[in-house]
Amino acid sequence: MSLPELFAERAGDYRAGMHHCTEDDLPAVLAGLLAGASKVVLPPGLPDAWTAALTMPALLDGPAVAQAARPGSARDGRAAALTAAELDEAGLTAVELDEAGLSVLTGCAVAIAETGTIVLDAGPGQGRRLLTLVPDHHVCVVRDEQIVADVPDMIAALPDPRRPLTMISGPSATSDIELNRVEGVHGPRRLDIVCVHP
C-alpha cells in the first residue's frame, strides 16, 4: 500500500471525512464541503486557488507571525475576491470564533500515514492554534508529497520543531462514559480531510 493510501485508510478509521481530488478539482471540492458554513475562517497564507470558488463570507485572521515570515502571499488580493470579507487585523478572538456555523479551512505541515495524523505547525495556510480549535468544522488539505511514513519521519520533516505544533488524529473524542466513544467533545466535531493527488 502506498503512503497516501495508508494515510487515507488510517485517517478514515477515526471517522474523519475523507475526500480525494486533483489540484484542478480542489476549489470545487472545497466549495462543496464548506457550502453549509455560515462563514469560513481563513488563516493567512492560504493559496488563492483554494478560496477561488467560495461564495460565503470569510473571516480572515490578522497578521500572524507566519504571515510576516512569508511576504509573498497575496492576502489582500484574495480578501477582495471574497464576498463581504471581514479582515481582522488584530486577530480573531475566541469569542468571534465561537459563533455557530463557522468552518475553518487550512493546510498542514506534514501528515503521518501509519497513524492517519495531520500535523499543523502554525505555518502559512495553517495559522494560530485557536483557529482550528474553536470552530465546529475543520477542513484540512493534505497533498500526497506531505505524507510521511511514521512519527519519527514526521519529526524529521518539521521545518522548526519549536513552532506551536498540533497533531490531529480524527475529531476530538472521549470514552469516559462507560467506555462509549463519543466524538466531538471540545474541538471541532467534524473533520474533513481533502487528499490532493497529482
Partner 1 sequence: MGNSSRKIVAIMGVGTVSRELPIVAITPFAVAAERELGDAQLRANLGRATRTIRDKRARVVAEVADWEPMRDRAAAVKDEVLDNLSELLARFEAAAVAAGATVHHATDAAHANAIVTELVKEQRAESVVKIKSMATQEIGLNEALEAAGITPIETDLAELIVQLADDTPSHILVPAIHYNRSQIRDLFARRMPGFTATSDEPAVLAGAAREYLRRTFLAAKVAVCGANFAIAATGSLVIVESEGNGRMCLTLPETLIAVVGVEKLLPRFADLGDFLRLLPRSSTGERMNPYTSIFTGVTPGDGPQRLHIVLLDNGRTQVAQDPVGRAALRCIRCSACLNVCPVYERAGGHAYGSVYPGPIGAILSPQLTGQDAGFNKTLPYASTLCGACYDVCPVKINIPEILVHLRQTGSKPAAERAAMSTLSWVMRDRRRWRAALRAARSGAAPLRALTRRRGGTLRRAPWPLSAWTAHRDAPLPAAESFRDWWRRTHESS
Residues that bind partner 1 (CB under 8 A): 10, 13-14, 64-65, 91, 94-95, 98, 112, 114-117, 122, 128-130, 133, 150-152, 155-156, 161-180, 182, 184-187
Q: Which is nearer to partner 1, 48 or 160 (CB)?
A: 160
Q: Which is nearer to partner 1, 78 or 128 (CB)?
A: 128
Q: How far apart are CA 197 and CA 144, in angstroms?
A: 6
Sequence-ordered list of residues with C-beta below 8 angstroms from that of 11, at least 6 positions apart, any chain: 18, 116, 117, 118, 169, 170, 193
Q: Which is nearer to partner 1, 181 or 197 (CB)?
A: 181
Intra-chain end-to-end CA distance of the chain, in Å = 17
Q: Which is nearer to partner 1, 10 or 27 (CB)?
A: 10
Q: Which is nearer to partner 1, 30 or 104 (CB)?
A: 104
- Report the nearest approach of partner 1 to the CB of residue 128 (Å): 4
- Report the nearest approach of partner 1 to the CB of residue 185 (Å): 4
Instruction: Please give the torsion angle defined by the CA atoms of residues 17, 48, 41 and 125, in that order, rounded to the nearest 10 degrees.
Output: 80
Instruction: Please give the torsion angle defined by the CA atoms of residues 65, 157, 129 and 191, in that order, rounded to the nearest 10 degrees.
Output: 140
Cell matching residue 132:
482550528
- Report the nearest approach of partner 1 to the CB of residue 168 (Å): 6
Q: How far apart are CA 160 and CA 33, in angstroms?
A: 31
- Report the nearest approach of partner 1 to the CB of residue 82 (Å): 23
- Report the nearest approach of partner 1 to the CB of residue 49 (Å): 26
Q: How far apart are CA 138 and CA 34, in angstroms?
A: 9
Q: Which is nearer to partner 1, 54 or 191 (CB)?
A: 191
Sequence-ordered list of residues with C-beta below 8 angstroms from that of 14, at least 6 positions apart, any chain: 116, 169, 170, 171, 173
Which residues share a beta bridge with 103?
40, 137
- Report the nearest approach of partner 1 to the CB of residue 178 (Å): 6
